[in-house]
Amino acid sequence: MPKLSERFHKIIRFSFRNYSSKTETKPKKDVDPCRTFKIYRFGGILSKEQPKIQSYELDVSTCGKMVLDALIKIKDKDPTLTFRRSCREGICGSCAINLQGMNCLSCITEIPPAKTITILPLPHMYVIRDLVVDMTHFFNGYDSIRPYLVRKNDGAIGKTQLAQSIKDNEKMVGLYECVLCSCCSTSCPSYWWNGRRFLGPATLLHAYRWVIDSRDDDTEQRLYELRDSFKAFKCHTIMNCSLACPKGLHPAKAIMNLKRLISGLDKKPVPEIDPGKFKSGGDSGSGKNKKCCP
Amino acid sequence: MALFSCTRLGSRSVLASLSRFPARLNSVNYAQAASNAPKITFVKFEPPKEEHHDVRNAKLNRPLSPHLTIYSFQLTAVLSITHRATGMMLTTYASALGIGALVSQNDISHYITMIEGLNLSPATLFLAKVIIAAPLGYHFANGIRHLYWDTAKGLSIKEVYSTGYAMLGAAAAITLFLAAL
């Protein structure tokens, strides 16, 4: 049984953003708080105007330190600026933008110490208005991998608890935290060029999450559905995805493991505990014979 | 009684029940037109047509957000595209050698004698050999890195960067070795 502190550290590690090595070694220099924000503007299809970059001056000492705070402050001055946001804590995945050339969530990314800050919508997506993009095909791809538990021989899911050992549960750490912000998928050049048939890192991360879930019975069918040259194998390990993930997850590693499972090089391990362990034989769940603690 | 009438109105539109009697409907239409009431027509439900994402967005004339021109270059992506580019160069080498052998009248030793006849300095010759061997060295070293990744090892960001730099060193070493032959 791994120590509680070890498991805690493993989970904490995934909360940190993966930065590329160059930004970590630069010493902090004082930048003037009056910054210029260059933001992509597009008035929508009815406005008949071309997309352009508009500059805004903002004193960042008057707003919170996250990019979303700056965007809201700019919106106070120019109410026509449009962007998505919801939870302001990096859990909903709505506020994904392209900041200084890298995708991130604006609510958990600090305003970088630069004089000019460029904010663009997610790359290679159809722009509805300003920073809001059309995510339809991204979510359709996610739905296509059947992101739900499939049990073969249980009468009705939800009647009894499914058992899972701690080790099997830890296999999903780093996979279930994905918030579907699409920072990774929209940073992948392969998804830019083949986005309609290639599923993209986020969807493949979730596909892997359902494949290695020890409680799921439909592994063979899931892997069979991914067996073509586009859905999973258009990943060329460019690895932009793992650099872009704002939650610190690792889609590239998950995709490589998934590819090995699809091609048959690896086999999904047998669950350590039988998931149907708590099903009392012959009892349809009246509750009388159910043990609350195993 | 009044309450009963109200619930009847709420559960089904009065006019909907009227539409089951066509003769009555015509007179209702005239009455509606006369009284300037909003005209309600009933159309059978048609589910929305499924359109391809690109077709739908093209019809809507939505612009595509910038991608290649704005995305910052990371070591990972640069090494990956160079791997593809060097692969294409090696393909052209192989095709040139193959097709050249097919169509040229002379043996390759003829062309080598021609190059020797140019009397280039050893430095220029070495430089030329480095330029020709560079794609091979790079593609070979990065190829080994890709095969290492296929074993699902070395995929953490730190390892990708460190193996990347190591690979560049190895590529340079292989290139210099081949050029010195």
Q: In this structure, are residues A253 and B152 in contact, taking their beta carbons and an 8 Å threshold?
A: yes
Domain extent for B172: 75-180
Question: What is the tens place of the pLDDT at every residue in B125-177?
Answer: 899 999 999 999 999 999 999 999 999 888 999 999 999 999 999 999 999 99
Handedness of CA A137, A143, A144, A145 (dihedral sign): positive
More confident residue, A188 or A289: A188
* Beta-carbon separation of A126 and B146 below 8 A: no
- SS3 per-residue string spanning A61-98: HHCCCEHHHHHHHHHHHCCCCCCCCCCCCCCCCCCEEE
Does A202 share its domain with A87? no
Mutate to test the interface with A, among B69, B71, B144, B148 (most CBs of A within 10 A): B71
Q: Would B95 be classed as within a structural domain?
A: yes
Closest alpha carbon within chain B to A23? B74
According to the model, what pLDDT value does residue A248 have?
A: 94
Does A128 share its domain with A141? no
Phi-psi region of A206 (alpha: psi -120 to 50; beta: other; left: phi over 0): alpha
Does A52 share its domain with A119? yes
Over residues B14-32, the mean pLDDT reads 56
Average pLDDT, chain A: 87
The CATH number covering residue B118 comes to 1.20.1300.10
* Beta-carbon separation of A121 and B65 below 8 A: yes
Percentage of chain A with pLDDT > 90?
Answer: 75
The closest alpha carbon to A202, from A215, A186, A190, A214, belongs to: A186
According to the model, what pLDDT value does residue A257 have?
A: 95
Measured between alpha carbons, how far is B177 from B171 in angstroms, rounded to an integer? 10
Over residues A170-185, the mean pLDDT reads 95
* Beta-carbon separation of A127 and B63 below 8 A: yes
Over residues A216-241, the mean pLDDT reads 93
Question: What is the tens place of the pLDDT at every residue in B76-102?
Answer: 999 999 999 999 999 999 999 999 888
The CATH number covering residue A245 comes to 1.10.1060.10
Chain B residues in contact with A21 by the CB 8 A cut-off are 161
Question: What is the tens place of the pLDDT at every residue in A117-146?
Answer: 999 999 999 999 999 999 999 999 999 999
Domain extent for A41: 34-133
Question: What phi, psi does A103 have (nearest 5°)?
Answer: -80, 140
Block residue for tokens 């990774």 = A184
Indicate the pLDDT class of residue B30, thresholds 50, 70 and 90.
Answer: low
Measured between CB atoms, does A82 come within 8 Å of chain B? no
Does A113 share its domain with A181? no
Q: Write the DSSP assignment of B114-150 as a string of letters.
A: HHHHT---HHHHHHHHHHHHHHHHHHHHHHHHHHHHT
The ipTM estimated for the assembled molecules is 0.79
Q: Would A141 be classed as within a structural domain?
A: yes
Percentage of chain B with pLDDT > 90?
Answer: 54
Instruction: Please say if the pLDDT value at position A85 is more than 70.
Output: yes
Does A102 share its domain with A143? no
pTM: 0.80
- A231-246 burial string, b = 16+ CB within 10 Å, else e? bbebbebbbbbbbbbb
Instruction: Please say if the pLDDT value at position A268 is more than 90.
Output: yes
Over residues A218-227, the mean pLDDT reads 94
* Beta-carbon separation of A118 and B149 below 8 A: no
Instruction: Please say if the pLDDT value at position A246 is more than 90.
Output: yes
Q: Would A119 be classed as within a structural domain?
A: yes
Tally of structural domains, chain A: 2
Measured between CB atoms, does A112 come within 8 Å of chain B? no
The CATH number covering residue A87 comes to 3.10.20.30
Does A144 share its domain with A128? no
Chain A residues in contact with B76 by the CB 8 A cut-off are 238-240, 243
Tally of structural domains, chain B: 1
Give Cα A144 distance to the centre of its chain.
16
Instruction: Please say if the pLDDT value at position A27 is more than 70.
Output: no
For chains A and B, CB pairs below 8 A equal: 109
Closest CA of chain B from A126, distance in Å: 5
Question: What is the tens place of the pLDDT at every residue in A40-70?
Answer: 999 999 998 999 999 999 999 999 999 999 9
Q: In this structure, are residues A78 and A56 in contact, taking their beta carbons and an 8 Å threshold?
A: yes
According to the model, what pLDDT value does residue B120 have?
A: 83
Over residues B27-37, the mean pLDDT reads 65
Does A101 share its domain with A52? yes
Nearby residues of B113 by Cβ (< 8 Å), 6 or more positions away? none
* Beta-carbon separation of B63 and A51 below 8 A: yes
Chain A residues in contact with B54 by the CB 8 A cut-off are 196
**Entry field: residues in chain B:** 181
Closest CA of chain A from B13, distance in Å: 35
Nearest Cβ partner for A127 among B62, B70, B84: B62
SS3 B175: helix
Measured between alpha carbons, how far is A118 from B89 in angstroms, rounded to an integer? 36
Measured between alpha carbons, how far is A141 from A138 in angstroms, rounded to an integer? 5
Over residues B94-115, the mean pLDDT reads 88
According to the model, what pLDDT value does residue A282 have?
A: 47
Measured between alpha carbons, how far is A101 from A193 in angstroms, rounded to an integer? 18
According to the model, what pLDDT value does residue A176 have?
A: 95
Closest alpha carbon within chain A to B79? A238
Percentage of chain B with pLDDT > 70?
Answer: 81
Does A77 share its domain with A183? no
Q: Would B36 be classed as within a structural domain?
A: no
Chain A residues in contact with B74 by the CB 8 A cut-off are 20, 239-240, 243
Indicate the pLDDT class of residue A20, thresholds 50, 70 and 90.
Answer: very low
In what helix (H) or strand (E) does residue A249 lie, and over which residues does it extend? none
Q: Would A233 be classed as within a structural domain?
A: yes
Measured between CB atoms, does A247 come within 8 Å of chain B? no
Does A107 share its domain with A193? no
Does A91 share its domain with A172? no
* Beta-carbon separation of B146 and A250 below 8 A: no
Measured between alpha carbons, how far is A180 from A135 in angstroms, rounded to an integer? 10
**Contacts by residues A42-48 (CB-CB < 8 Å, ≥ 24 positions apart):** A42/A127, A42/A129, A42/A130, A42/B63, A43/A80, A43/A129, A44/A128, A44/A129, A45/B60, A45/B61, A45/B62
Residue A228, both tokens = 């073509």
Block residue for tokens 């009438």 = B5
Q: Would B23 be classed as within a structural domain?
A: no
Q: Would A66 be classed as within a structural domain?
A: yes
